[in-house]
Chains A and B, each alone.
Chain A
């Protein structure tokens, strides 16, 4: 194991470095945008997002209030850093997890390999892969993101797989009968019908990514996790509590917004079909 990591560091270090650099570019870009924007604009964006997701003014106002509360705790800047990490992590989780879920729904052998692998990803303690990740990428944001992705992607894969396998076979058959190609069946029938389940997966993935922020800060990620960590290290329960509260508030905001979107999707279909 150690030899394998050493080998990777020595022989493919450049490739890892290049990957890490491009990831960092995206992260820094998002982070700079969020931290540079006036808080009022961010609050407005949160409200707008909630409005689009749930079509409810009450939800929009509540979510803006939650975001404002984070600022009131004095952790605005840290929260923006955390949000940037969450966005990038969840983005990577979607880009990798969604296709994996689709493949494992479609091909039984793929599922036979993927499912135990997901179990593994969720059960091994993060430190086991944090150490080699830190060796490959150095301390900082990139290994933190990768650790978050490893931990948070499984529910998205599982619920995409489940959602697609639960699609009414009669609807998919009708699409095939009319000459739909595999891609057309996937895009026009399977993904849309699985969307409520996929949204649930996305919600869980986001929650799990948030639950990683303290661990992520141990290997050098900035943000609200760092606040909790500092509180821990200095034996300052007040600071730790404030940081924890900020994480909870962020979780509430992500959760309410994605849930509202998922529920609206279901409501429109009447769910009787």
Chain B
């Protein structure tokens, strides 16, 4: 049995998601639902199985439902229909206390915009998850200090987040998520807000950490380089539907449809004059260094 299982997950945002669901079951797609109901079909019958120890990458254009999907694992978002099981537990059946305990013990998360506590120094940010669990200050700060060193921030314990660069802030975010030593790590575009060099550094750091610790990671990105570099498996989302799921080699060599082929094209022909035609509209360049800046 897979560690994380999503089964027929459909998620609709709007005032009356349950009624909109009937329309979806009657055949309405994302565009029709938005036009006729003013509701957003964020995920449409998504089923995935993620094995323990894998780095599972979710890819797709902006708005395709990646953030929504990853938030189902720790129930920051609840589906309109479907099931979510983690380690055999029906996550949607947990009561408030059970959900709190589940989040504290099973899943940690890293965010695109870091989500650090601006009023607390680095050490307290990294120790945050441990504090939430009620660990004593001395114990949690000792652990936090180890993780701060592990992500290369030794000496910055008493600095406030605002005094750090984006890359350093995300190292804090990473240390905070690792310090709780949960089996599952959710990462929602953790490196997208960083410049290319910093991004590469942090990808290396994550790869190192993963080699040592072997967590189950659900990693969201819209960058195919990053996906093939870090992922054991990749799922590609389009308009809330998983259009292909497989190993990086599967995706690169046997794209399931034109949409996936367009992604692959973007990485294989990044420097050709015609590259913009090969890249889906709205997709940011997968190799920012090689691309002229916007405008």
The interface residues of chain A, by DSSP majority, are classed as: helix
Binary interface profile of B, 115-151, with partner A (CB < 8 Å = 1, else 0)? 1111100000000110111000000000000000000
CA distance A184 to B117 in the complex (A): 13
Tell me which of B99, B116, B119, B132 contacts A192 (CB under 8 A): B119
Contacting B at CB under 8 A, from A246-273, are 268-273
Tell me which of B101, B116, B129 contacts A273 (CB under 8 A): B116
CA distance A228 to B74 in the complex (A): 63
CB contacts (< 8 Å) of B114 on chain A: these are 170
Instruction: Check B275 for interface membership: any CB of A closer than 8 A.
Output: no
Binary interface profile of B, 150-180, with partner A (CB < 8 Å = 1, else 0)? 0000000000111100000000000010001
Interface pair A177/B162, CB less than 8 Å apart: no
Q: Name which residue of chain A comes closest to B162, CB basis.
A: A270
Interface residues on chain A, size class: 20 to 34
Least CB distance, A245 to chain B, in whole angstroms: 39
Instruction: Check B224 for interface membership: any CB of A closer than 8 A.
Output: no
Binary interface profile of B, 97-120, with partner A (CB < 8 Å = 1, else 0)? 001111111011101011111110
Instruction: Check B76 for interface membership: any CB of A closer than 8 A.
Output: yes
Contact A179:B111 (CB < 8 A) given known A270-B160, A273-B161: no
CB contacts (< 8 Å) of B116 on chain A: these are 171, 174, 273
Interface pair A269/B162, CB less than 8 Å apart: yes
CB contacts (< 8 Å) of B176 on chain A: these are 178
Interface pair B180/A178, CB less than 8 Å apart: yes
Interface pair B103/A177, CB less than 8 Å apart: yes
CB contacts (< 8 Å) of B160 on chain A: these are 268-270
CB contacts (< 8 Å) of A11 on chain B: these are none
Interface pair A269/B109, CB less than 8 Å apart: no
CB contacts (< 8 Å) of B111 on chain A: these are 170, 173-174
Q: Name which residue of chain A comes closest to B74, CB basis.
A: A177
Interface pair A193/B132, CB less than 8 Å apart: no
Interface pair B74/A273, CB less than 8 Å apart: no
Interface pair A179/B113, CB less than 8 Å apart: no
Tell me which of A174, A181, A268 contacts B115 (CB under 8 A): A174
Residues of B at under 8 Å CB distance from A? 74, 76, 99-105, 107-109, 111, 113-119, 128-129, 131-133, 160-163, 176, 180, 186
Q: For the complex of A and B, list the 5 residue pairs with the smallest distance between their C-beta atoms, beginning with the closest.
A: A270-B162, A174-B115, A179-B104, A179-B103, A273-B118
